[in-house]
Structure 1
Amino acid sequence: MNATRWVILCCAYGASLLSTAILGFPTRSVSWQQWGGLALSWAILGVVAGFVVPRFWRMSPRLPIWIAAGLVGALAVSHLQLRVPQMARNDLSLLVPQLEGLATVRGQILNMPTLNRKQNVRFLLAAETVNDRAISGKVYVTVPLLQGTGLVPRQGITIRGILYQPKPAAHPGAFDFQGFLARQGVFSGLKGYSVESLTEAPWGWWQIRSRIIRAQVRWLGSPTGQLVSSIVLGRRAVDLPDDIREAFIQAGLAHVLAASGFHVSLLLGVILVLTRNLAGGTRLWIGMVALSIYVGLTGVQASVMRAVIMGCGALVGLATERKVKPLGLLLLAATLLLLCNPLWIWDLGFQLSFLATLGLMVTTPRIVEKLDWLPPTIATLIAVPLAASLWTLPLLLYVFNTVATYSIPINILTTPLISAISLGGMVSALVALIFPLAGSAIAWLLYYPAQILIAIVQFFTHLPGHSWAVGKIELWQLFLVYGAIFLIWQLKHVRRYWGGILLFCILLIIAPIYYNHLTRVQITVLPTQPLPAIVLEDRGKVSLINSGDEDTVRYTVLPFLRNRGINSLHFAIDPQYDLQQGWSSIFEDLSVKTFFAIPEREKSGIKDTKGAKYQPLKAGQTIKLGSALTLKVMHTSPSVFQLKTQEGQWLLVDWQVPQPQNPNPTIQSVPIAQSEILLWSGETLKPEWLKTIQPKVVITTSEKTVPDPQKQIQLYATERDGSVQWQLGKGFEANIETTDLNNSIL
């Protein structure tokens, strides 16, 4: 069978796995009937292609190959379905509703414990018993730092803590914690308080990693030492400080902190240079051993395995003195990985690694040709990040809804530094295995390059507009953009119009988002505690009431605004006497035109409003939020707002007792009016309030706030329902739908 036939079969396998997106996979559960229907569709498509394609492609293979391709596609869909993690009959998660209070779980640690943002230790545990009852399943564990220090993979432990069910995304743009864990076969979580070791720490790759990291941190200090180790081993193996990690992500340098093909290529290049005088077979074995050790140190990751397979293919080509086709090798690597684990088709690391490598292969030479007026070294330095960005940017926009504005210039400027640090870090790591002090001395030479790298990243991330929220793009837009990119790559007569096609792709992404932004009238109540953050969109003008603390802004408010493509606020309103600490982060990330706050507090505690105009918030004040929404301040202690829309009137009440300026508020002391919608936070909502306001819809932070809701009242609780949205002409919608965890794995 010739190469063309193999390419068709491999492409059919990969394309069929991608086609599962039609079913909504991996963001929602899929029934077996849908899986079967998709598999049958591929089998039929293979037969149809066998009759249709030869009419347009003179060199097309015969009918049996196309039938085989259809069968491969059908088998690929079935393979993926079989590999989807399923909950066992005695899975620990099934007992969570029955277990109240503390539970004792015994099991074995599955991965290297690391620190989360709250400086707690996190890891996965293969559970064996709970309260001396035999169970199975994996559980996501967090324990205090002192309890988790010294824990290592494959160690047996007993943990006392509280079991819980991971929560799904509570609002658009939120991190889907439940889905993230479910993709790893984890359906429950455990917040541990005490840990007891049952076995001694076994030997493992973690010991070598720890030896390398200690040697590099010894004289480099923190965070420089962790940064160098992260560049060499990947951030999964190193506890890098949050501020450094976030800065690199915002700058568009997240790939620098991840073990990737760049590191494998650099390692392989050094090995080939050092072994250039040896026989081909010897170079092959040395290279494969080195790559195997690197995989052991970094862990099995899709991006690393892709590069390792391609590296092994290149080594085999050198040993046998045969020419290797890079594109064929990339396709082979992708197919082998997906045969081993078809779920990797939806792994972001795999997708970015494949697209970036493809871009480097097919686009870099063409960009270098266009830059022939520059010295070759500089032209290549510019072409490499530009080519990789062109192929990965649409996917990054689809996943993160934002673009790092200065990503390409930062990558161009930092490539020499990153190469030097990576190479020096690898040498330091190798020497540290033999003589740690010598490894520390070599790592010390990287201090100033690492400091310069950090300074460049911090400089660009503090520039105005360093990150631009584009908004959520749909799957059909993503496929159309990549379809256009593939047409430019494959068809010469289309390539002549690459500028127009590029403009079409930009408009295809931006136009629908900004059309919705300019026409949408929507109110979103975000699931924040103790007060709900409220985002009001009125045909291009956006306002925010309440910010919450810094964690609320980071994990709830900003992700939602990015999902909406919002980069500025017309009005920011803080009705609280106690300063909400999240406003500083809001002013840092968004452009705010006007900031309303209680006069007695004004801007105390906020260091820099970044040019936002301050306005006092007073009772009786009316704020026109746009053409369809008007906000009136009814009272400031407690906070009572009246919000008028074209479809009814809202009453926003924050009933916190006692109030700073009104210790014992009563219904008689606060001006209220009948309203169709009541947004209530604070103390329990009393029946006399419902009788006076007579709402048709009540929105609260907790359903316990309304102990006896009337039947004619529609009740939403953000704690249960996630974010609650009202849109002009469409009514209300809750973000979280009740699902059966047994049927929903992603």
Structure 2
Amino acid sequence: MMALLPLLVLAFAAGIALADKFSFSYRGLLLLLLAALAAGIIIPNKKKHAAAVLLLLFLGQGMLAYQLAERALKQPLAPLWNVEAEYLGYVQDVLSSNAEKIQFDFYLEEAVLSGQQRLPVGALIRVSVYRSSFRPFYGQPLKLHGVIKAAPGQRNPGGFNYADYLETKNVSGVMTAAPRQITVLTGNKGKPLMTFFARVRAKALALLQRFLPPEEAQLAAGFIFGQTENITEELLTAYQRLGLAHLLAVSGLHVGFVTSLILFLFMRLGRPLLSYSAAALFILVYVFLTGGQPPVWRAALTALITLAAKQYGRESEGLQTLSLAALLLLYFRPLWLFSLSFQLSFAAAAGILLLAPRLQASLKWCPQFLASPLSVSMAALLGVLPLQAAHFGYFSFYTIPLNLLCVPVVGLVVMLGLLGILVGLVSAVLAAPIITMTLPLLLLLTRLPPFCLRLPAAALYLSAVHPLWWLLYGMVLLLLLTKDKVRLQTGKKLLLLLLLGCLLYAASLPCTFPRQLTVTFLDVGQGLAVHISTPAGQHLLVDAGGGNFAAGEQVVLPYLRAKGVSSLAAVILTHPHDDHYGGLPAVLSALPVQLFLSNGEEDNAAAFSDLLAILEERDIACSSVSAGYRLIIDNVEIKVLSPPAQRFSGTADDVNNSSLVLSLSYGDFSLLLTGDAESAALNELIKKYQGRLRADVLQVPHHGSRNALSAALLRAAAARAAVISVGSNPFGHPHAETLRLLAENKLAVYRTDLHGAITIVSDGKKWTIAAYTAP
């Protein structure tokens, strides 16, 4: 049975994955389970048949577990979607709390509907509050007035699915509340034990902030408790791109440090039972102090099983222990299967268990003290590489040497920090020297990664990897795992090498491109980002969003990676507003770019200075363009229609009116990109290009503002479809007058805030337009 356990876990996980993709009735699943049980009773002595039945049984159980978890998550809020009401409950978890944004998970106990009808609920929602002095804490009872909405799903190809992410956190919906919509009630509704852990965590964080500089205190909180929300973006990016992010996610490494510290302190008493019991107790305390995320639970369960085995004088088998931990976690939390932290944690652990011994055997030339950590780092990297490439899109050659250096340093920080915190719960004076001892280590850990990220080839951008490469990668790992068990004859070895060579050749062949133009308006919130793919596979980008979030990192690069884009023939910036250029630094840093075009104007903001510095650093050819400029790539022509060489001045908004207005044409198809041009520029355009502004598709200027679109422009363009690139904003975009004009002229209207990414495809004659999501 134990030898079969890893396969049973895989079957259970496969059942969860299948139920996520396909719909199965409860009756069908119950019939499957009953059939499997009956078959197991009928053929108990046939081992292979019994194993097959058992696998089928676990497959069905996984499917059933998923459906029950989905039902428990979504059913309580079913009558409350988009209903304005009063909601009573308490704060479950505080995610961020600063002057700009407060975000917390709220356990919703009861809803008070119109007419004072009370409805018991019992669900978790995520609440966001902006610019408020309100500071929530665990267990704080609140009354919220607002509307619960479903979290947004995936809005762009390759994009982040926020709804799926929240499901792995057991969060059913979202709410944005104004400070006036929050009423603080008296008392504390938190569970006593969890309230105790929340207070201990708050006191621990206060101790770190008291005895360490701000940046180092925030990093120490990341290492010890996995709290990363206050770590600077520069430092967090360095850790992510250099393969060090696992140090900031409490996992097996950290639980190992805690276990080592407790065993070191208690083993001196000469009582193994007391030592193992103390270690088990502290492991559980540490799990709850850190918030109980999938990686720490995985590590805690494997550590507890190992300690229990030692207590009874037995050795635990690593793969079986890991499988049992996975089965327990997925049984109680099936949706964790889709959590990236869960996947990375188990992939790294499996890589270490399966590959590290074989890699260490191959490092006989290396000193023993270095061979062991080197093989562990290499094995973990090989285990997580496919996930890292798919989700982060970067690879660093510095990952292994940096891990060899940083892992033991982080270990000292965790152990000294925890020791200082334990002492500090009794006396802050006695804790001061212990916590201060971590400062030199933390200074190294705050300075080294950003420095290394600036070195050549520190973080290599990876576009979408061909599936055949991953098949080849899996076959190589399989050969590495089975080389001692499977002895192949020379002929079979040659055939295998030939197969690998064919796969390698097939994966390296260039793709054949359909002779079509593809234009995609990405959903970057309140901003603009347009990707243009020419018929021969060249790629251009017009703007890259920005504004109040990192559109380049979070939207544009994941999209380009999913589309297999490894370079850009040209990047065009329409005008220097941050909701148009904010995402460009990330794109220009990651991808080779041949040409950068703009209207030549600049912004005084630091972010625009960063953009200029990257252009200079990467030696990208730059040109300032105006009306009359033409760019032709693969029979796709882009003409600049505005602004004129003499820029606009004295208008309502000179920066917007000086925005580049582009006409894109391919064969009989044409598209008019208006950027943020407003009435002054567009009226001049209509006069200058009388009868020559016709376009099949019109990008509605300035996100649909009132002062941009006019009936005259609609008549001049005679478009059949319009695209509005817009997001949540305080300006009232798109304006009701703009929408009325579009409706009166019978244009098909596509909005990125309602439809997600919008893609236009044309062969030069016919064209189609499609939305990524349904409104």
TM-score range, shorter chain: 0.7 to 0.9
- Partner residue of 1:695? 719
Change in Cα spacing, 1:548 to 1:39, as seen in structure 2 (3 Å) is: farther
- Does structure 1 residue 515 correspond to structure 2 residue 511? yes
Stretch deviating more after TM superposition (114-123 or 591-600): 114-123
Question: Structure 2 counterpart of 1:701, which letter?
Answer: S
CA offset digits 1:39-61 (Å, max 9, x no partner): 8499689979x99xx9xxxx982
Mean Cα deviation higher: 260-269 or 631-640: 631-640
User: Do the aligned partners of 1:398 and 1:474 also contact (CA within 8 Å) in 2?
Assistant: no
SS in 2 for 1:112: strand
Change in 2 beyond 3 A, CA 1:70/1:167: closer
1:107 alignment partner AA: G
Equivalent pair of 1:280/1:318 in contact (CA under 8 Å)? no
Contact 1:686–1:706 (CA under 8 A) maintained in structure 2: no
Amino acid at match of 1:204: F
Look up the SS of the partner of 2:47 in the other structure: coil
Alignment equivalent of 1:674, drawn from 694, 704, 718 = 694
In the TM superposition, residue 88 of structure 1 has moved relative to its aligned partner by 5.9
CA contact under 8 A between 2:395 and 2:459: conserved in structure 1? yes
Cα distance in 1 between the residues matched to 2:462 and 2:34: 35
* Deviation sequence 1:216-265 (CA, Å, 0-9, x none): 221212110121122112126x7434433233122211110111011111
In the alignment, the residues of structure 1 paired with residue 101 and residue 506 of structure 2 have an alpha-carbon distance, to the nearest angstrom, of: 38
Q: Which residue of 1 aligns with 2:53?
A: 67
1:177 corresponds to 2:162: yes
Distance 1:227 1:472 in 2: 32
Residues 95 and 42 (structure 1), Cα distance of their counterparts in 2 relative to 1, 3 Å cut: closer
Residues 124 and 173 in structure 2, CA contact (< 8 A), matched pair in contact too: yes
- 1:400 correspondence with 2:381: no
Q: CA deviation at 1:562?
A: 3.2
Per-residue Cα deviation, 1:299-343 (whole angstroms, up to 9, x for no partner): 222221222222122212222212222222222222222222222
Identify which of 619, 622, 630 aligns with 2:637. 630
Question: Given the alignment of the two structures, is residue 79 of structure 1 paired with residue 65 of structure 2, yes or no?
Answer: yes
Matching residue of 2:731: none
Q: How does 1:297-308 map to 2 (within 5 A)?
A: 297-308=289-300
Shift of 1:33: 4.2
Match of 1:616 in 2: 624
The correspondence for 1:105, drawn from 82, 87, 97, is 87
**Matched residues in 2 for 1:508 and 1:736: separation?**
33
| Residue 259 of structure 2 corresponds to residue 268 of structure 1 | yes
**CA offset at residue 38 of structure 1?**
11
Structure 1 residue aligned with 2:593? 592
1:39–1:73 contact (8 Å) kept in structure 2: no
Q: Per-residue displacement from partner, 1:380-435 (whole Å, max 9, x unpaired)?
A: 23211111010111122233344345322321232232222222222222222222
Q: Call closer, same or farther: CA 1:198–1:712 in 2, change over 3 Å.
A: closer
For residues 337 and 602 of structure 1, the distance between their equivalents in structure 2, rounded to whole angstroms, comes to: 51
One-letter code aligned to 1:630: E
State the SS of the aligned residue for 1:311: helix
What CA distance in whole angstroms lies between the structure 2 residues aligned with 1:441 and 1:219?
9
Describe how 1:342-421 pairs up with structure 2 within 5 A.
Answer: 342-421=334-413
Task: Compute the displacement of 1:558 (Å).
Answer: 2.9
Q: Distance in 1 between matches of 2:32 and 2:251?
A: 37
User: What is the percentage of aligned positions where both structures have the same residue?
Assistant: 22
Structure-2 separation of matches of 1:505 and 1:399: 27
Instruction: Name the Cα RMSD after superposition.
Output: 3.9
1:190 aligned partner: 176
Q: Quick one: distance in 2 between partners of 1:89 and 1:384?
A: 44
Tell me the secondary structure at the aligned position of residue 32 of structure 1.
coil
CA distance in structure 1 between the aligned counterparts of 2:15 and 2:75, rounded to whole angstroms: 30
- Compare 321-330 and 381-390 and name the one that shifted more: 321-330
2:287 is the counterpart of 1:287: no
Alignment-mate amino acid for residue 446 of structure 1: T
Matched to 2:719, the amino acid is P
Report the TM-score when normalising by structure 1: 0.85
Task: Point out where structure 1 has 5 or more consecutive residues left out of the alignment.
Answer: 740-746
Equivalent of 2:416, from 413, 424, 427?
Answer: 424
117 and 68 in structure 1: CA distance in 2 versus 1, 3 angstrom threshold: farther
Give the Cα–Cα distance (whole angstroms) in 1 for the partners of residues 497 and 445 of structure 2: 36
Which range moved further: 181-190 or 479-488?
479-488
Match of 2:249 in 1: 258
C-alpha distance in structure 2 between counterparts of 1:676 and 1:14, whole Å: 51
| DSSP-derived class of the 1:7 partner | coil
1:614 is displaced (CA, Å) by: 1.7
Task: Measure how far apart 1:94 and its partner are.
Answer: 4.4
Query: What is the one-letter code of the residue matched to 1:180?
Result: Y
Q: CA deviation at 1:548?
A: 3.2
CA contact (8 A) 1:160 1:193 kept: no
What residue number does 1:744 align with? none
- Which segment drifts farther, 280-289 or 582-591? 582-591
Q: Equivalent residue for 1:134?
A: 118
Higher relative contact order (CA 8 A, sep 6+): 1
CA pair 394-471 structure 1, distance change in 2 beyond 3 A: same
1:247 to 230, 238, 241: 238
Task: Verify the 8 A CA contact 1:120 1:143 in the aligned structure 2.
Answer: yes
Give the letter aligned to residue 129 of structure 2.
V
Amino acid at match of 2:694: Q
Amino acid at match of 1:541: Q
Partner of 2:481: 489
**Matching of residue 15 in structure 1 with residue 11 in structure 2:** yes
Provide the secondary structure at the position in 2 that maps to 1:324.
coil
205-214 or 333-342, which deviates more: 333-342
For residues 196 and 531 of structure 2, what CA distance do their matches in structure 1 show? 50
Q: Contact 1:303–1:353 at 8 Å: present in 2 too?
A: yes
For the Cα contact (< 8 Å) 1:46–1:71, is it kept in 2? no
137-146 vs 281-290, greater mean Cα deviation: 137-146
Q: Does the C-alpha gap of structure 1 residues 511 and 109 become closer, same or farther in structure 2, counting only changes over 3 Å? A: farther
Shift of 1:361: 1.6
Q: Contact (CA 8 Å) 2:638, 2:664: kept in 1 or not?
A: yes
Indicate whether 1:643 and 2:625 are aligned. Answer: no
The number of residue pairs the alignment matches comes to 714
Q: Which amino acid aligns with 1:699?
A: V
Shift of 1:345: 2.3
Q: What is the TM-score normalised by the length of structure 2? A: 0.82
Q: Secondary structure of the residue that 1:623 maps to in structure 2?
A: strand
Q: Secondary structure at the match of 1:77?
A: helix
For 1:726, the aligned partner's letter is: I
The superposition leaves residues 577-622 of structure 1 with CA deviations (integer Å, 9 ceiling, x where unpaired) of 6575524444444433322121455998554123222212121111
Secondary structure of the equivalent of 1:333? helix
Q: How far has the Cα of 1:462 moved from its partner?
A: 2.2
Q: CA deviation at 1:710?
A: 7.1
Question: What one-letter code is carried by the residue in structure 1 that aligns with 2:642?
Answer: H
Q: CA deviation at 1:527?
A: 2.3
User: Does 2:531 match 1:535?
Assistant: yes
Match for 2:543 among 524, 528, 546? 546
Contact residue 134 and residue 179 of structure 2 kept, 8 A: no
